Amino acid sequence: MTAPASTSTLDASAQLSASLVARFPDSVTADTRPGFSGFIIKKENLVEVATALRDEFGYDLLSSVTGVDYLAENKMEVVYHAFKTTGGPNLVFKVQVDRVDPIEVPSLYEVWTGADFQEREAWDLMGIRFTGHPDLRRILMWEGFEGHPLRRDYKEAFFEEEAKPFKSRWPEGNHKYAEFRTPHRDNLIFPEGFDPDNYKPENEDELYFSLERSSTKREEDALKTDHIVVNMGPHHPSTHGVLRVVVELDGETITSLKPVMGYLHRNHDKIGERSTFLQILPYTDRLDYFNSMANNFGYVTTVEKLMKIPVAERAEYIRVIMAELSRIQNHLIFIGMLINDLGSMYTPSLYAFEERELILDIFEAVSGARMMCNYFRFGGVVRDVPDDAMQKIKDLVHDRLPGKTDEMERFLNENEILLARLKGVRVLNAEDAIRHSVTGPCLRAAGVPYDLRRADPYSVYDRFDFDVAVRYNGDMYDNYLIRFDEIRQSLRILEQALKQIPQGSINSQKPQYQVRVPAGEAYGRVESPKGELGFYVVSNGKPNPYRYHVRAPSFVNLTAVESMCKGTKIADFVALLAMLDIVMGEVDR
């Protein structure tokens, strides 16, 4: 970012701070802890202030909700990040409550529906009870799970040490299998006095009650018909991953729907808090495993913000090139898999895979792995792009991909069966999309030209000439076409990046395995192919982060699936789910 831009944002934030504190003198104070920013809002006035932020200050999209457990201060903090869909930096506001159970914070569900899943996640993992939330159940952990794993004082069965590196590895390392550390040989803690004979999972019934509660069925209908509850999954929803969806049907029409997730949950946040800053990097590859480059990008951007280090010029370009290549292959796969979901098995998806394969070959040549790239480092990238790989990128961008994108369009776009399935089936309109915190192509297909690369530019995206792809109908066909538009724009960015890329060093820092990160907080976000990928990192100066949270676009976008599908036919459900382009590695984390 250039100097004038940052001063103007500073002015803007100072202005906002003054007007917000003037508007709510009793309930809003600025967060003055060194390294922290934003506002602390009194719990009692949270809903009022949030409504004002949305309606008067224009922060219409709630990006991230998460909790931080300040064990030493005996405080629990809920951190909100909101932003404007017209662009600009995000606004941070926090609520602090005493860390005495029950920890209660008013829910913002009524203000931003997008808080739904994220508040459930904060309840599940941190034990913060959001009063007024209509459906506060566990979301990632299984029903009947004991405790809240993200609290600082939670220790799992295989617990070894508070943070890596573990002392047992060196210098007296004796290998021992992890499961031999517990009597039952699994990573489970049984509560005191656990009796398997009388064990009843708590909220399996709750799931069906909440399904019933949000149902749109009408009793006064002329024909009295039974409503059936169908469990799709865990696995089927055309195997985008292990997702279970409970659907209530009136004939063929969906009257209510609840997604159930967490089958792939591994507590990425906790793993991150146990690992050093560098060690988190390969784990981020495994979030959205189609776009490890984009995940790396988001994480290193956040930590670089915290460390306040520059990034080598050449590395910035390499990062952009890799991120855009991964966007292209992600969208190609999206198109292929969507057609798969619509019932045309394999041919289109394999055509898409062919181009993806060539892009993965490039990733393999530069980073050493096709999917788990682990290519970015703080201050730059691991290694320079080899000459032959650079040539291959140029060949693909100039000669192959534009033609192949056209071929894909020729192949599918006018297909009458496809049109019959996609045209006029509503996905989301702009209001719904914003209300549900949906970001990425789904938001843009609904007519909101919100793209972080333009709205809040990071890296060197402000140097490229490209258009934000946007379409206005918000139906499935637009959602499908916008992927082609984005591939074209990515190719445009790539062409410019390949032309502009300078020679020089690829890392501004010396390679070091233990980076020093000053105390403070940072929220970094990038436009991943699936939406806004945010990382919230709190450091206390130690080698590992105090709090590490991923705002996964797939997970937040899934909030909208219920309102998207209500009233549509069950046959459209799998295609509608495909529109959100979810990856379970990222949803479940």
Partner 1 sequence: MYGKGILKGLGVTLNRFMETYLDDISWWVRGKKRYNSAEGIAHRSSKNTRGIFTVQYPEEQLLTPEEFRFVPFLVYDEGAEGKQEVRCTSCGICAKVCPPQCIWIVRTNDPNTGKPVPQPAQFYIDMDICMNCGFCAEYCPFDAIKMDHDFDIASVSRNVYDLEKLLKPATYYAKIRPQNYNREEEARKAKEAAKAARAAAPAAAAPSA
Q: Where are the alpha helices (DSSP H) in 236-312?
A: 268-274, 277-285, 292-307
Decide: is 156 part of the binding site for partner 1 (CB under 8 A). no
Q: Which of 191, 504, 511, 567 binds partner 1 (CB under 8 A)?
A: 511
Decide: is 382 part of the binding site for partner 1 (CB under 8 A). yes
Q: Which of 142, 166, 194, 199 binds partner 1 (CB under 8 A)?
A: 166
Decide: is 569 part of the binding site for partner 1 (CB under 8 A). no
- Tokens read off for 160: 């070894």
- Whether 525 and 299 have beta carbons less than 8 Å apart is answered as no
Q: Which of 18, 30, 419, 571 binds partner 1 (CB under 8 A)?
A: 419
Residue tagged 């202005």 (tokens): 15
Decide: is 500 part of the binding site for partner 1 (CB under 8 A). no
- Tokens read off for 503: 């020679």
Q: Of the two residues 499 and 510, which places its CB atom closer to partner 1 in the complex?
A: 510
- Tokens read off for 299: 């994480």
The CB-based long-range contact list for 152-156 (8 Å cut-off, 24+ gap) reads 152/69, 152/71, 153/71, 156/187, 156/189
What is the crossing angle of helices 347-367 and 387-395, to 10°? 150
Residue 289: exposure state from Cβ atoms within 10 A (0-12, 13-18, ≥19):
middle
Q: Which of 174, 183, 219, 502 binds partner 1 (CB under 8 A)?
A: 174
DSSP SS3 for 505: coil
Decide: is 345 part of the binding site for partner 1 (CB under 8 A). no
Decide: is 368 part of the binding site for partner 1 (CB under 8 A). yes
Q: Which of 222, 414, 502, 503 binds partner 1 (CB under 8 A)?
A: 414
Decide: is 396 part of the binding site for partner 1 (CB under 8 A). yes
Decide: is 283 part of the binding site for partner 1 (CB under 8 A). yes
C-alpha dihedral sign at 133, 139, 143, 149: negative
Decide: is 310 part of the binding site for partner 1 (CB under 8 A). no
Binding mask 246-275 for partner 1 (x = CB under 8 A): -----------------------------x
Identity of the amino acid at 497: A
Q: Of the two residues 109 and 363, which places its CB atom closer to partner 1 in the complex?
A: 363
| Min CB(209)–partner 1 separation in Å | 40
| Min CB(179)–partner 1 separation in Å | 11
Within the chain, what is the greatest distance between any pair of CA atoms? 77
Q: Of the two residues 321 and 396, which places its CB atom closer to partner 1 in the complex?
A: 396
Q: Supply the Cα-derived Rg of the chain in whole angstroms.
A: 24
In angstroms, the CA 316 to CA 311 distance is: 7
Identity of the amino acid at 127: G
Q: Of the two residues 96 and 275, which places its CB atom closer to partner 1 in the complex?
A: 275
Strand order in the sheet with 520-528: 520-528, 531-539, 547-551
What single string gives the DSSP state of each residue in 46-58? HHHHHHHHHHTS-
Residue 58: exposure state from Cβ atoms within 10 A (0-12, 13-18, ≥19):
middle
Q: Of the two residues 164 and 488, which places its CB atom closer to partner 1 in the complex?
A: 164
| Min CB(117)–partner 1 separation in Å | 28
- For residue 175, count other CB atoms closer than 10 A to its CB: 6
Q: Which of 25, 170, 198, 200 binds partner 1 (CB under 8 A)?
A: 170
| Min CB(478)–partner 1 separation in Å | 17
- Whether 554 and 546 have beta carbons less than 8 Å apart is answered as no
- For residue 521, count other CB atoms closer than 10 A to its CB: 24
Decide: is 387 part of the binding site for partner 1 (CB under 8 A). no
Q: Which of 21, 189, 365, 425 binds partner 1 (CB under 8 A)?
A: 365
| Min CB(187)–partner 1 separation in Å | 14
Identify which range of 187-195, 383-391, 460-468, 519-527 contacts partner 1 by CB under 8 A: 383-391
Q: Which of 25, 26, 34, 175 binds partner 1 (CB under 8 A)?
A: 175
Q: Which of 113, 279, 340, 349 binds partner 1 (CB under 8 A)?
A: 279
DSSP 397: I
Using CB under 8 A, list all residues that contact partner 1.
164-166, 168-175, 177, 275-276, 278-283, 347, 351, 354, 357-358, 361, 364-369, 372, 374, 382-383, 386, 389, 392, 395-396, 399-400, 407, 410-419, 511, 513-514
